[in-house]
Amino acid sequence: MRLPPLNAVRAFEAVCRHGSILKAAEELNVVRGAVRQQIATLENHLGRKLFTRDGRRLVPTVQASAFAAAAGMAFDILQRAVLELEGAEQNRIRLGVPSAFAVWWLMPRVADMQASLGDTAVEIVPMTVVEPLQMHPELDAVIMGGEYRPAPGITALRFMEDEFGPVSTPSLAATLSKDPAAMGALTMLASRSVPKLWDEWFAESGTPPVVFSRVQEFEDLLLALGAARSGLGIALAPRASIEDDLERRHLVAPYGFISRPSGYSLCCRTPDAKRPAFAALSGWLLGCGTSA
């Protein structure tokens, strides 16, 4: 069987992964015209169109999406094989972590993690916007919260449950009644990195959506929680990210927390899951998650 040109497949896979010719071109360090030409080359080779147009957007067909997922897995396997052939260091992990989770949960435990992992070095990469591992070929693994969705070629280890709920300073919480509708008098602090977090809490807690007097958005959940600590308003927070603030009474949860069954998962490429370095990291996370 004659394989399609690999450069064309790489360009196609990058476009599907990013949903953008421009972002694919930036990743591949080429101009947009070169990416379009590679797509045309692949379509000519396969004898079919791979995208349809939705306004100005290119949308992959169902068959093309499946092909892109398979191509991404193949490139991941090939990349790992090259690293092994070159004798690249196998005990180093580049780990993408939600920034708030990294600051308030992982970093206070990082010395214990490093001591437990011995020669395995973990490079922590804070993520303002948490995206699936298949969107980040430069990372070896990511920690995902409630936003995790199963994906082909990705192994996910759920290591910790979590809860979430509205939080504010004690002084602001004292102005609220037992009815969550009272939050409407406060400023809702939201994060663009987790834009549906408030909607998820309303749905999962069975609370009718609240109409807030004012909404202020921040680029990152870390900033939204910092604004809550300063008394600017009320934010929606995963409990694991603010345990220290709760203990010190910098923040309180006037309506408590509800459980999030999805919890937190360590996601890595399936071929990497059996590597000793990942086994060590997985074991440490499971131990911390059980005791959290």
Classify each residue of 275-289 as buried b or exposed e, where b means 16 or more C-beta atoms within 10 Å of its C-beta.
bebbebbbebbeebb
pLDDT at 1: 62
Q: Which of 189, 182, 180, 168 is nearest to 208 (CA)?
A: 180
Report pLDDT for 37.
Answer: 93
Q: What residue spans in the chain does CATH classification 3.40.190.290 cover? A: 90-292
Q: Residues near 52 by Cβ (< 8 Å), separated by ≥ 6?
A: 58, 59, 61
Residue 231 Ramachandran class (φ > 0 left, ψ -120 to 50 alpha, else beta):
left
pTM across the whole model: 0.68
DSSP bridge partners of 268: 141, 155
Q: What local confidence, expressed as pLDDT, does residue 291 receive? A: 66
Under a CB-based contact definition with an 8 Å cutoff, are residues 49 and 61 in contact? yes
Q: Note the pLDDT of residue 64.
A: 92
Q: Cα 17 vs. chain centroid, distance in angstroms?
A: 14
Distance of CA 130 to the CA centre of its chain: 3
Residues spanned by CATH 1.10.10.10 within the chain?
6-85
Q: CB–CB of 198/188 below 8 Å? A: yes
Average pLDDT per block of 10 residues along the chain, 292 residues long: 86 90 90 92 92 83 90 79 64 88 90 91 88 83 80 87 94 95 96 88 94 93 94 93 90 94 87 86 90 63
3-state secondary structure string across 242-277: CHHHHHCCCCECCCCCEEEEEEEEEEEEHHHCCCHH
Task: Write down the pLDDT at residue 57.
Answer: 78
| Three-state secondary-structure class, residue 148 | coil
6-85: which CATH topology? Arc Repressor Mutant, subunit A (1.10.10)
Q: Cβ distance 256 to 165 under 8 Å?
A: yes
| Alpha-carbon span 97 to 127, nearest angstrom | 6
d(CA 115, CA 272): 22
The verdict on domain 90-292 having CATH code 3.40.50.300 is: no
**Is residue 157 within 8 Å of residue 266, measured between CB atoms?**
yes
The pLDDT value recorded for residue 74 is 83
Q: How far apart are CA 166 and CA 168, in angstroms?
A: 7
